[in-house]
Amino acid sequence: MQFPLSIISSLVTVLTITLQALPIFTLSTCRSFCGNIPIKYPFGIDDGCGAVQFRHMLNCSADLFFITPSGGYKVQSIDYNKKTLTVYDPAMSTCSILQPHHDFIMTDIQSAIMPPSADTVFALLNCSIDSPVLNHYKNLCFNFSGHSCDELYGGCNAFRVFHLLSNSSPPCCFTGYDTVRYMSMNILDCSHYTSIINTDNLKGLGPLDWVYGIKLSYSLPDTGCERCSESGGTCGFDTETQGIMCLCSSSFNATRECGPGSATDEAVTHSSRAYVYSVFLVLGAFLYMIS
């Protein structure tokens, strides 16, 4: 019995097409992880994914970054239950490192939909005696969980230098995000700052054990995303019109949900039909071959 080359080659072709037809429908346009950090609604790292209000806020280049007008801040974690995103500014001073201040600036949209949480406290250090927070805006400063600024000057290697140079504690202020939002560090007239998160849990702990960073507390836009995700889609938006979309597969986007009878199902049906068809083709070719 002879196997004509043409039959074998068409067999191979058919098999290749069959194998290629399947994985197309498992491809997604939206990456769901950046490193080991899960990316879910309302966030997105590919344009068109997530909620449009959060567009261009994250970038994933090896690490996940929160992008603001004052720079990219490394995202430490996202808590989707508590709706918080914790970032860390490597250029910020902490208990162990003293670095020149640079303002933390968010866009108006960012300040509105994901402001720093109430338990994120900014510590303004080495303020001049003319600083507004020591004068007219004194009442913006507070003590948190029983801590005073003096603990920072005394308990942190990085901040001890202020103590040494002035032979007393230079003025300092624990304050909320709004203070640094409306007054730049130059206006505040403080040479350094740091920020501390989870301040409600720090009673009795010294500054060496505080957690430094910025915790942002985001709110979910009410766009009916549940309907889309329950139908198996990923919430996104049209990159041109910014209209809400439900991304059902790499070849189909719906406006609200990937419901039955939508093009997704048609596409899948179409692919399985193609699959069955090619199996028959292979079988036919095989029968032809052995006859």
Ligand X SMILES: *[C@@H]1O[C@H](CO)[C@@H](O)[C@H](O)[C@H]1NC(C)=O
The binding site for ligand X (CB under 6 A) comprises 29, 48, 59, 61, 65, 71-72, 126, 128, 142-143, 148, 161-162, 165, 191, 236, 238-239, 245, 247, 251-253
How many other C-beta atoms are found inside a 10 Å radius of the C-beta of residue 24? 12
Minimal distance, residue 129 CB to ligand X, in Å:
8
Measured from the CB atom, the residue of 201 and 251 that comes closer to ligand X is 251
Q: In what order do the strands lie in the sheet with 234-237?
A: 234-237, 244-249, 252-254
**Residue 98 near residue 161, CB atoms below 8 Å:** yes
Smallest gap from residue 191 Cβ to ligand X (A)? 4
* Closest CB 150 distance from ligand X, rounded Å: 7
- The set of residues, in sequence order, having a beta carbon less than 8 Å from that of 290 and lying 6+ positions away, is 1
Whether the CB-CB separation of 60 and 44 falls below 8 Å is answered with: no
What is the DSSP code (8-state) at residue 182? Answer: H
The smaller minimum CB distance to ligand X, of residues 253 and 278, is found at 253
What are the residues whose beta carbons fall under 8 Å from the beta carbon of 251, sequence distance 6 or more?
Answer: 24, 263, 267
Q: What is the distance between the terminal CA atoms of the chain, rounded to a whole angstrom? A: 9
Q: Do residues 199 and 207 touch, judged by C-beta distance below 8 A?
A: no
By beta-carbon proximity to ligand X, the closer residue of 1 and 240 is: 240
Taking CB positions, which residue lies at the least distance from ligand X? Answer: 72
User: Shortest Cβ distance from residue 43 to ligand X (Å)?
Assistant: 14
Least separation in angstroms between residue 279's CB and ligand X is 28
Q: Name the minimum Å distance from CB 45 to ligand X.
A: 10
- Which strand (E) or helix (H) includes residue 140? none
Q: Which is nearer to ligand X, 56 or 82 (CB)?
A: 56
